[in-house]
Amino acid sequence: MSEKDTLGAENTTNYFPLVRKVKASAIISWLKAGIKDTRRAGFSSLFYGVFFALAGLVMHLVVIKAYWLMTALTTGFLLLGPFLAMGLYDLSRRIELGEPAKLVPTLTAWRQNLINVSIFAGVLVVVLLIWARSSMVIFAIFFEGALPTFADVVLNVLAFKQPIFTIVYFSIGGLFAAFIFAISVIAIPLMADRKTDAITAAIASLLAVIRNPFQMLLWALCIVILVGIGFATSFLGLIVTMPIVGHASWHAYRDLVEAS
């Protein structure tokens, strides 16, 4: 459960959300709630899971011979996930309100705040493109030898055969991922729920991370593990793990932001 420790003065208007400090144990509650919502929504949740799985498979097939791009696109898959999960957020909201968890109304959940969601999506796409280009440059400059295959990359990373490449690649990639996570961890649910503008949502998300650095680090790790399980099972696991992540992210938002 969250502590009643919020940012902002008592006379702050409801326009800017008040951000709570939560305990690390709250993550377990988010995951349990995510599993519960996945079960209650049933087919509607699994529909989005199938979509994620197909997206992952298509992404893999497109770059099957260019694995230096695969890493960048995999990162992009993680970064753009919150937008793909808007339907899952809407399902959790409907369950929370006691409404039927129907699929069709959630397919256009993004329309409720189209302009701001589009602006935020544009920012993430730009950052993703910069990272994709940076990934190629890093490979070109720091990776020794011929154009690598996926096996070459994995072997070099695990065996630490090219330490400079490994350190540079994951350091820069980590900075991109940390930045996107920080401004988006609760931004999309906030925009969907309260019609908040993109800038306010990004700042509120950043405040949530600043207020809960360790908790958000653990939450990011949980997301990576669940997505990793999906990838490791030839994307089939995403059918279940992504709905859980999406629903749990809604409950993370509910726990981190004071009710208006």
Mean pLDDT of 200-226: 94
- Quote the crossing angle between the two packed helices 86-96 and 67-84, to the nearest 10°: 30
Instruction: Report the 10 Å Cβ neighbour count for 170.
Output: 14
End-to-end CA distance of the chain: 18
Q: How far apart are CA 123 and CA 218, in angstroms?
A: 25
For 131-163, how does the pLDDT look when each residue is reduced to its tens digit (9 = 90+)? 878 888 888 888 877 666 666 666 777 777 788
**In the predicted model, is pLDDT for residue 69 greater than 70?**
no
Q: What is the pLDDT of residue 129?
A: 81
Kindly list the domain boundaries of the chain, sorted by start residue: 26-256
For the chain, the average pLDDT equals 84
Instruction: Select the more confidently predicted residue: 162 or 82.
Output: 162
Q: How far apart are CA 256 and CA 30, in angstroms?
A: 11
**In the predicted model, is pLDDT for residue 181 greater than 80?**
yes
Mean pLDDT of 46-57: 89
Q: How far apart are CA 128 and CA 94, in angstroms?
A: 31
Instruction: Select the more confidently predicted residue: 64 or 34.
Output: 34
Mean pLDDT of 75-93: 79
Confidence of residue 71 (pLDDT cuts 50, 70, 90): low
Tracing tokens 């295959």 back to the chain, one arrives at 149
